Amino acid sequence: MKVHKVLLIGILLLGIFLRFQNINWDSNLHLHPDERFLTMVGNAMKVPTTWEEYFDPTVSSLNPANVGYPFFVYGVFPVVLNKILAVVAQNDGYNAFAIQGRILSGLADLIILFFVYKTSKLFEKQLKFHTSIKYWATFLYAISVLPIQLSHFFATDTFLNTFVFASFYFSLSFFYSDKSWDGIMSAFFFGLALASKINAVYILPLVLFLLCFRLLIKKQFIAAAVIVALFVCVSYFTLRITEPYYFESSDFFSLQPSLLFIKNMKELTGLSSGKVFFPPAVQWYSKTPILFSLFNLSFFGLGVPYFVFSIMGIYLLFKRWSKRHTSIELVMIILWVIGYFLYYSIQFAKTMRYLILIYPFLSIFAAFGIREFIRRYKILNTRYFILFILLAWSLIFSSIYLQKHTRYQASFWIHQNLPKKSVILAEYWDDALPMMLDGEDNKQFTIESMGVFDPDTPEKWNKIEKQLEQADYYILSSNRAWASVPTIPDKYPRMGQYYKDLFDGKTKYKLIQKFIPFYQSFFPFHPSSWLNNWFDESFTVYDHPSVFIFQNSKKTHDAR
């Protein structure tokens, strides 16, 4: 077997290992809220018995609105795909549906490895990229931390990313070949992307540029119009088949969008704007536009060395273009990536996963940067050193999947060590501990919820002080509140200070146990830490939160 085939197989196996390592990372506790919601929707769905029923949004049992979930802002295709496969494979239970969905999510992300390789190969053929770049690019995407994390969740993100990048690839192939089939495939995957999430529309300017630019330069306006018309028709037809519930009726010739979907999107926009109070949005009020997203992209999503090589690659490619004035397609790709990043980084909600669409592109830019670095600095074993520093963060992050989830560990410890009939304080809008484990009964504890996200009014604190006085334990099951509330002292002057005092041991509640992921041992995770203003809480809350258990030192009984 040739060396390059062995190399590709090795990269694929690495990608598989990183994406499917401990796929049941939460031991069937369903700790990802979006995944939990999609699983409930999928379990409520029924596969229609006729095509007429499937395409009719008013009666279809695959339409979330018809099975008790009228507020649904995703594309339904990933859920429907999982549902059909679950029925066929007899995996249509609550736990099995989620695990199968995670497998599909990971498989979707693995497909991007193929398209990253093929895109790099196109650049190798058309733009004289070095032959090693396609291997570096594929390897880099295989070890990208955010895609690895999102592959462990059954959500729409990896499906969206795969279909968007596939649509881009075929439009790029059309740019070089003028083959109509490439244009059709680009449209097909764009339709699937829209059917996964409406955000796919952001790739449209780049795709249309690649489809039309050469034809417009040659003044072949009719041919360009035909290509656009064909793209629209194929995309629409694909969307109509895979997500018929974006539309108001089953009439294929009616373009009327679903009024309920429009209403839902408006409501989501309001919740994501910061104008409406919404606990998950508390973290965003203090975040610096652009710099916040840049920090999370470079520090958590990619890792600093990976990010540096990406920037180096972008710079060198621009420099190369400025000298030769060729490769307009590459310049437009770079401008799209930068524009997409800037657009999302100035939004109120700057969630890391929204930037997943640029990760395949960054892997190619970084590969170019690495190749140029190796060429210019021919130091002994440079390649091995680069491999080491690139892999380090991916392996450190993946260590979270080597042990039981921190909330599982904490719940087990609570059941084994806290006295029965203990009163435990949990926090509103977060998962309360202990969780229901096999063979354990949560009814032995009294769990009360504290409204920590409510405005700091006297009424709030009268209630909280009574709860703190009467409770035996106070458990923080994630950093959702304590890492976000102190960042906006104008809104939470007293609650923010209480968290700082709590962690500093200045209250009657004393820390008796904690469960933290390995890598967080090296970070200053504390309510007064600078880091609280610089990381997206969703990166930690779902699959590896830090759990802190405090005991009321004024109470008479102790932990066993």
Residue 431's Cβ-side half-sphere holds a number of Cα atoms within 13 Å equal to 24
- Same domain as 363, residue 446: no
- Same domain as 449, residue 540: yes
Query: 530 lies in a domain?
Result: yes
For residues 536 and 352, the answer to whether their CB atoms sit within 8 Å is yes
- Of 399, 415, 442, at which residue does a domain stop? 399
- Of 399, 415, 440, at which residue does a domain stop? 399
Q: How far apart are CA 297 and CA 393, in angstroms?
A: 13
Query: 78 lies in a domain?
Result: yes
Query: 189 lies in a domain?
Result: no
Per-residue pLDDT of the chain (560 residues; tens, 9 = 90+): 687 889 999 999 999 999 999 999 999 999 999 999 999 999 999 999 999 999 999 999 999 999 999 999 999 999 999 999 999 999 899 999 999 999 999 999 999 999 999 999 999 999 989 999 999 999 999 999 999 999 999 999 999 999 999 999 999 999 999 899 999 999 999 999 999 999 999 999 999 999 999 899 988 999 999 999 999 999 999 999 999 999 999 999 889 999 999 999 999 988 888 888 888 889 999 999 999 999 999 999 999 999 999 999 999 998 887 776 668 999 999 999 999 999 999 999 999 999 999 999 999 999 999 999 988 877 657 788 899 999 999 999 999 999 999 999 999 999 999 999 999 999 999 999 999 887 666 678 999 999 999 999 999 999 999 999 999 999 999 999 999 999 999 999 999 999 999 999 999 999 999 999 888 877 777 777 777 778 898 999 999 999 999 999 987 554 44
Contacts of 26 (CB under 8 A, 6+ apart): 32, 405, 407, 408, 543
Q: How far apart are CA 130 and CA 159, in angstroms?
A: 30
For residues 479 and 458, the answer to whether their CB atoms sit within 8 Å is no
Q: Is the peptide bond before 360 cis (omega within 30 degrees of 0)?
A: no
* pLDDT (0 to 100) of residue 380: 56
Phi, psi (degrees; rounded to nearest 5) at 137:
-65, -45
Query: 180 lies in a domain?
Result: no
Contacts of 427 (CB under 8 A, 6+ apart): 449, 450, 452, 476, 477, 480, 481
Query: 219 lies in a domain?
Result: no
Rounded to 5°, the CA angle 356-357-360 comes to 95
Q: SS3 for 239?
A: helix
Q: How far apart are CA 463 and CA 450, in angstroms?
A: 8
* pLDDT (0 to 100) of residue 391: 95
Q: SS3 for 378?
A: coil
Please tell me the total count of domains within the chain.
2
- Same domain as 482, residue 344: no
Domain carrying residue 527:
406-552
* pLDDT (0 to 100) of residue 492: 95
- Same domain as 430, residue 544: yes
* pLDDT (0 to 100) of residue 560: 42
- Same domain as 430, residue 394: no
Interaxial angle between packed helices 157-177 and 359-376, expressed in degrees from 0 to 180 and rounded to the nearest 10: 60
Q: How far apart are CA 97 and CA 115, in angstroms?
A: 28
* pLDDT (0 to 100) of residue 350: 93
* pLDDT (0 to 100) of residue 527: 75
Residues linked to residue 514 through DSSP beta bridges, in sequence order: 548
User: Can you list the pairs that 11-17 forms with residues at least 24 positions away whose Cβ atoms lie under 8 Å?
Assistant: 11/113, 11/135, 11/138, 11/139, 11/142, 12/110, 12/113, 12/142, 14/139, 14/142, 14/143, 15/110, 15/113, 15/141, 15/142, 15/143, 16/110
Query: 259 lies in a domain?
Result: no
- Same domain as 446, residue 361: no
Could you tell me whether strands 473-476 and 446-450 are parallel, antiparallel, or unpaired per DSSP bridges?
A: unpaired
CB count, 10 Å around CB of 507? 17
- Same domain as 435, residue 534: yes
Q: How far apart are CA 364 and CA 11, in angstroms?
A: 15
- Same domain as 473, residue 492: yes
- Same domain as 322, residue 422: no
- Same domain as 413, residue 386: no
- Same domain as 302, residue 360: yes
- Of 384, 399, 414, at which residue does a domain stop? 399
Query: 372 lies in a domain?
Result: yes
| pTM score of the predicted model | 0.94
| Both structure tokens of 120 | 């790099």
Q: How far apart are CA 238 and CA 193, in angstroms?
A: 10
Give 519's DSSP letter. Answer: G
Query: 95 lies in a domain?
Result: yes
User: Can you list the pairs that 502-506 forms with residues at least 24 positions away whose Cβ atoms lie under 8 Å?
Assistant: 502/474, 502/527, 502/550, 503/527, 503/528, 503/548
* pLDDT (0 to 100) of residue 379: 64
- Same domain as 545, residue 471: yes
Q: Which of 29, 79, 358, 51 is nearest to 196 (CA)?
A: 79
Q: SS3 for 471?
A: coil
| Both structure tokens of 548 | 């802190």
Q: SS3 for 481?
A: coil
